A and B are shown apart, each in its own frame.
Chain A
Amino acid sequence: MARTPAELVGAQPEPPFEITLDGRPVAALTGQSVAAALWAAGILAWRTTRVGGRPRGAFCGIGQCYDCLATVNGEPNRRACLVPARPGDAITTQEGHGRADLSV
């Protein structure tokens, strides 16, 4: 059986809460980043690239590469690896720059 980081350190986290990705419920733990919660649910991609529309998710995981951008509660270009998950957060798959509202 796979051992999780939580098991390795003997963590006893509080009960999970719910966030959503494109409306679908995902369980998250206190202290988890949005990216970590999505990964734990087996979700690897939550953005498409601006030019080729290719899938993207977490790459560096430490806020440097800007690959894991997601729209969080309506705000685009949040680095999912740095944003702590909060109960009820609505994550939406970000298409390209996520700023279609500024296109004229």
Chain B
Amino acid sequence: MVGAACAYYAARSGLTVTVLDRGPVAGGTTGAGEGNLLVSDKEPGPELELALLSSQLWRELAELLPPVTEYEPKGGLVVASGEAGMAALRDFAAGQENAGVTAHEIPADRLHDLEPHLTPALAGGFHYPQDAQVQPALAAAHLLKAAGERVRLRLGEEVTGLLTGASGEVRGVRTASGEVHGPYVVNAAGTWGGELARLAGVELPVLPRRGFVLVTEPLPRVVRHKVYAADYVADVASGSAALQTSAVVEGTPAGPVLIGASRERVGYDRSLSVEVLRRLAAGATALFPALAGVRVMRTYAGFRPYLPDHLPAIGPDPRVPGLLHACGHEGAGIGLAPATGLVIARYLTGGEPLLDTAPFRPDRFPAAV
């Protein structure tokens, strides 16, 4: 998704772009996502700025992309089970509001107006109307299509090396089928962004953070917003390697309800964890008791590309002239993709920077000892 957005905005700025993917479109990081476009889970700071810009850009893109991409500005609802949780949400929302986020406190007795199937055993919540959702794989594919003839798509073609000139500047990439020349290379390899950086001889510590999603049978609109428990925000921000789960539940236009969210650092291990699935199901049915009688059709796992400080790497790499990075967005890559693409396109065309990208500098991590 991030790569598609970079290609789209670069092409719109008049550049010609070759998109290389070793797999199909959205076959790596994007296809395993839920398509969250969230501001609600972000504390004030550089990532929230990027998310707010993205949220605006997604609204523009939604006009351009076909309805099949399922863009839904449905809003988020964060709920707390007790008064302590509610107080924490209130503090968090107050900070966000100063940064431009819209958040409305919903008292316990009004939660049902927003979500009729929600358990009555809650202390209240916050409604975030700017939260939205897309079907990420289709959004990526249609955005590449919308980019037009300036974007050439080469799928199933893996980058095996970087071509550099006499003074170390980027001249293109090598793939199994030959060389692709260009003055700039953008690393949008998601969870595998660290490997691509290594081909260029630089260290970018992108690591996988595994997550499972449960997919229910198609239902009527049982869940209307993206609904999640307050502890989700703490889990997202945590650096722990141990398994963390928090209930995140959302309906889709196609009918199935998606249930997350788990986080664990287990490398690229794709093996099914019954314990994770059990915890996800328990979390979801605690929020929505009606889901207890509903069947889960399938489950899928994916790897969030995370960097040690939980911020993405966006912008030129001062260590290799011509190399730019656009990866490491952890679980927020779909949401942050348009702003990332626009920032990258500005760098490529020498335009005015859109926002302060210093916190996203790709070389901000000390070299591994």
Contact = CB atoms under 8 A, between A and B. Distances in A.
Interface of A: 50, 66, 77, 97, 99-100, 102-104
A interface, over-half SS: loop
B117 A104 contact: yes
Contact of A97 (B116, B117, B219, B297): B219
B278 interface: no
A30 to B, nearest CB: 26
B255 interface: yes
Given A97-B219, A99-B217, 11 more contacts: A50-B218, A66-B297, A97-B218, A97-B220, A97-B255, A99-B220, A100-B220, A102-B222, A102-B290, A103-B220, A104-B117
B298 to A, nearest CB: 10
A102 B292 CA distance: 12
A77 B220 contact: no
A5 B186 CA distance: 59
A97 B221 CA distance: 11
B303 to A, nearest CB: 26
B327 to A, nearest CB: 35
26 contacts: A50-B218, A50-B255, A66-B297, A77-B217, A77-B295, A97-B217, A97-B218, A97-B219, A97-B220, A97-B255, A99-B217, A99-B219, A99-B220, A99-B222, A99-B294, A100-B220, A102-B117, A102-B219, A102-B220, A102-B222, A102-B290, A103-B220, A103-B221, A104-B116, A104-B117, A104-B221
Contacts, number: 26
B143 to A, nearest CB: 25
Give the interface centre of A50, A77, A99 by most chain B CB atoms within 10 Å.
A99
A90 to B, nearest CB: 19
A99 B217 CA distance: 10
Interface in B280-302: 290, 294-295, 297
A103 B217 CA distance: 15
Interface of B is mostly: loop
Contacts of A103: 220-221
A77 B296 CA distance: 11
A103 B219 CA distance: 9
A99 B219 CA distance: 6
Contacts of A100: 220
Contacts of B117: 102, 104
Contacts of B217: 77, 97, 99
A104 B222 CA distance: 8
A99 B297 CA distance: 15
Interface string B88-123: 000000000000000000000000000011000000
A77 B293 CA distance: 12
A102 B255 CA distance: 12
A103 B290 CA distance: 11
Contacts of B294: 99
Interface in B191-222: 217-222
Contacts of A97: 217-220, 255
Top-10 shortest CB links A-B: A104-B116, A103-B220, A97-B218, A77-B217, A99-B219, A102-B222, A102-B220, A102-B290, A97-B219, A99-B220
Contacts of B218: 50, 97
Nearest to B116: A104
Nearest to B297: A66
Which of B218, B222, B295 gathers the greatest number of chain A CB atoms within 10 Å? B218
